[in-house]
Structure 1
């Protein structure tokens, strides 16, 4: 006999890659702030790493978030192939497959929690559908599918009709034949994995996006029309990431360490004078490509902060190899205007810093929504997955960025001259200034949306009220 029942308990089930876990951690914070108990489920090693990297709040101070770090069977953990022409991180496929073994412990957790609450709500990454499927056996449970990518990307996949309507948001003359084709975005093995997991979305009561109606309203309208056909709901609750951290860093790095040093370096730079160069946690570059980037940044004569690190491995307990492939004497030559970081960097704090005037990015959705919320324009260099679609959204729909290279040339090394021209265009041209102005306006609108009375804040309150209904 349960003495007291919660009106609602939420279980978040994350896909064990940094860009996915990070978003659900932030969403957990927002939901728990409404006095809703949240149980956060992920693989042990990946959850531990993501919590260490978390910015903007300290999960240990949130008493209504209960972490369940679950082990998975051992799996192969090959190093990333930095010389591969296809940049999809296939070295992470074994981890993805291993995560599907969480079905039994997740099912056990759901059965344990079900009697303690009037309503049990499962919010799961779209790539963890099979893990959560047993909620259907519980009379008081319902699920919501979380998409870790832009609404734009999902709309292109939804159906031929919705895809065509979405493409129409981009002027045809602005698109090359290779863009929005999905060619080269995934390996065939991962395509099968996506299909097998998305099959379970039909069991859910709706979909949640880490996006803002300020950013993607026309696309969300298309998706809502489709959702209503199957009596499902759609919620745009983003940006999940904190947006008001300009005053000081909230990242829990070691005092005096590389993290603090890079922020102190930014403090010495003029407003909008630095381009941040970072390509996420799943991509590694060849020695040749690193050299070309270095030469391009040096010749651009612009200030920069560049993260040079190997991609995350499946088994994060294995130490990443730091390749010192930079040209001889490079760091010494650029020491007055450039900083190289050889480990994971506090991206949110960096993008929020007033000295940052641009972001050369792979266009992962975390990076896009963080950059948009901070009003920072993007030099788009997509690598794989949803990134090419996000790059089109940023550059040709929202017009707050520019392309470094066309997706049709994705297997080619980007030469130093291209890097140099892209940096100069974004940071030192009239075109770049106009792009920055649009990005600043959008950032202001996005930050307003999460304040009391803002469109995102009201939608979040509506969502909490919906899942708390009697």
Structure 2
């Protein structure tokens, strides 16, 4: 549907435009947010390349962006700029997905199409609201020339991560152990990235002035002390997470996912889910160690074993990760586990009663989904904000165990370490305590998004603000 048709069929008093960064964890969060904002009867326009829009719609979980309930969400798809993206390199010196850098750089070329969309939509709106990923504000800089336009930056990481930059300036969060910040990567999140990504982030500094406030995929039930720190820096902020659905329909299972049937036949809290996200590539040696550790733990498991996303997930071949000879057949035969080679419905797996743990890279999406479903974590951070998130999970909230500490990021994790972490999480008194705490946290999160809860009030407040 073109802009003119939309304008003709809707009374666009307030219109929201979403501009996501082209990586799965970012596309996903702003598409979930689109659903939430459109539930207030506000039209939302999701602007991205054709490839990344297709990717976002294909992988979204818990709801259908093409259903009649989602008719207020409109997609504006633009040709993907030409870029040469190399395959993921499992032997790279850093786990940051350097192979995606060309697609990240190409995303900056969206400025012109974004400007065209917001210019046209502003003609029929009393207020044009742009929500953009804070990584690349230069793309929405033309909002400054829209008289009835304003922009809000969306931060895709934890406020624990963001607030740590300000602790020396405005004071540490109330109640935080003094030694926790000793574990934070020296120099902050930028030191966990490549020099090319740091250059992109730094090049955006001058465009941050276009933000009229900040949105976070979190809530006070999880991060109240860190939100209080950020409030001292910017009082225009709205913690309106989790964005992902916290209650899934009984019949929401997608066709073709036989492992959900397998989960139905397992005991409650008996299965550990293992997945390292869409940007992680592991060496064959590390994959072998994980395989042996999982098997020797004696615990049931579902392992998503896939290579990192390419710049365009729809073209070219994907590396098939190697397992020890006969491994897959053996663990299948004895009913211990399942290996998934493709995209997996993570939200549905975490929501399943049989899932009792999650070994994760600690991307913020995964952390929020795990906590909202009441599942404790075994943390294995790879890059970016993930070391901060792992600290939040294990040291602050105390709802997880450590598999790999960031200080040992360059070392191989031996199979014995994997086995030990799995057994601690899934079959120990300590693990039972973690599970009780995260179930309580999940209950608090669901209470937060319910009517009258903190998140619900924050969301109402944000909607009232943009509709003022």
Do both share a fold (TM > 0.5)? yes
TM-score (normalizing by structure 1): 0.94
Secondary structure of the corresponding residue to residue 35 of structure 1: coil
Deviation at 1:200, TM superposition (A): 2.0
Count of residues paired in the alignment? 457
Q: Is 1:161–2:158 an aligned residue pair?
A: no
Are the equivalent residues in 1 in contact too, given 2:290–2:415 (CA < 8 A)?
A: yes
Q: Is 1:422–2:421 an aligned residue pair?
A: yes
**Structure 2 Cα separation of the partners of residues 216 and 122 of structure 1:** 25
Task: Give 2:247's match in structure 1, choosing from 244, 247, 252.
Answer: 244
Q: Which residue is equivalent to 2:313?
A: 316
Are the equivalent residues in 2 in contact too, given 1:145–1:208 (CA < 8 A)?
A: yes
With 2-11 and 345-354 compared, the bigger mean Cα shift is at 2-11
**Structure 1 Cα separation of the partners of residues 253 and 57 of structure 2:** 13
Are the equivalent residues in 1 in contact too, given 2:382–2:409 (CA < 8 A)?
A: yes
Q: Which residue is equivalent to 1:54?
A: 60
With 169-178 and 240-249 compared, the bigger mean Cα shift is at 169-178
Q: Is 1:286–2:283 an aligned residue pair?
A: yes
Task: Give 2:197's match in structure 1, choosing from 162, 186, 190.
Answer: 190
Are the equivalent residues in 2 in contact too, given 1:361–1:380 (CA < 8 A)?
A: yes
Q: Which residue is equivalent to 2:149?
A: 141
Deviation at 1:320, TM superposition (A): 4.4
Q: Which residue is equivalent to 1:396?
A: 395
Deviation at 1:169, TM superposition (A): 5.3
Task: Give 2:28's match in structure 1, choosing from 19, 22, 25.
Answer: 22
Residues 73-88 of structure 1 mapped to structure 2, 5 A cutoff = 73-88=81-96
Structure 1 residues 315 and 292, CA gap change in structure 2 (3 angstroms):
same
Q: Which residue is equivalent to 1:367?
A: 366
Secondary structure of the corresponding residue to residue 211 of structure 1: coil
In structure 2, stretches of 5+ residues that fail to align are none
Task: Give 2:295's match in structure 1, choosing from 279, 298, 323.
Answer: 298
In structure 1, stretches of 5+ residues that fail to align are none
**Structure 1 Cα separation of the partners of residues 393 and 232 of structure 2:** 23
Structure 1 residues 33 and 172, CA gap change in structure 2 (3 angstroms):
same
**Structure 1 Cα separation of the partners of residues 66 and 390 of structure 2:** 35
**Structure 1 Cα separation of the partners of residues 144 and 93 of structure 2:** 43
Are the equivalent residues in 1 in contact too, given 2:166–2:229 (CA < 8 A)?
A: no
**Structure 1 Cα separation of the partners of residues 227 and 65 of structure 2:** 31
Residues 252-271 of structure 1 mapped to structure 2, 5 A cutoff = 255=255, 257=256, 260-271=257-268
Structure 1 residues 387 and 275, CA gap change in structure 2 (3 angstroms):
same
Q: Is 1:6–2:12 an aligned residue pair?
A: yes
Per-residue Cα deviation, 1:115-145 (whole angstroms, up to 9, x for no partner): 1011000000012300000001111000000
**Structure 2 Cα separation of the partners of residues 177 and 274 of structure 1:** 30
Are the equivalent residues in 1 in contact too, given 2:379–2:402 (CA < 8 A)?
A: yes
Deviation at 1:178, TM superposition (A): 6.1
**Structure 1 Cα separation of the partners of residues 253 and 104 of structure 2:** 31
Q: Which residue is equivalent to 1:40?
A: 46
Task: Give 2:114's match in structure 1, choosing from 86, 101, 106.
Answer: 106
Deviation at 1:165, TM superposition (A): 1.5
Q: Is 1:449–2:448 an aligned residue pair?
A: yes
**Structure 2 Cα separation of the partners of residues 198 and 160 of structure 1:** 21
**Structure 2 Cα separation of the partners of residues 176 and 156 of structure 1:** 11
**Structure 1 Cα separation of the partners of residues 308 and 359 of structure 2:** 17
**Structure 2 Cα separation of the partners of residues 445 and 427 of structure 1:** 23
Q: Is 1:344–2:348 an aligned residue pair?
A: no
Deviation at 1:5, TM superposition (A): 5.2
Q: Which residue is equivalent to 2:105?
A: 97
**Structure 1 Cα separation of the partners of residues 412 and 201 of structure 2:** 29
Are the equivalent residues in 1 in contact too, given 2:18–2:45 (CA < 8 A)?
A: yes
**Structure 2 Cα separation of the partners of residues 324 and 234 of structure 1:** 42
TM-score (normalizing by structure 2): 0.94
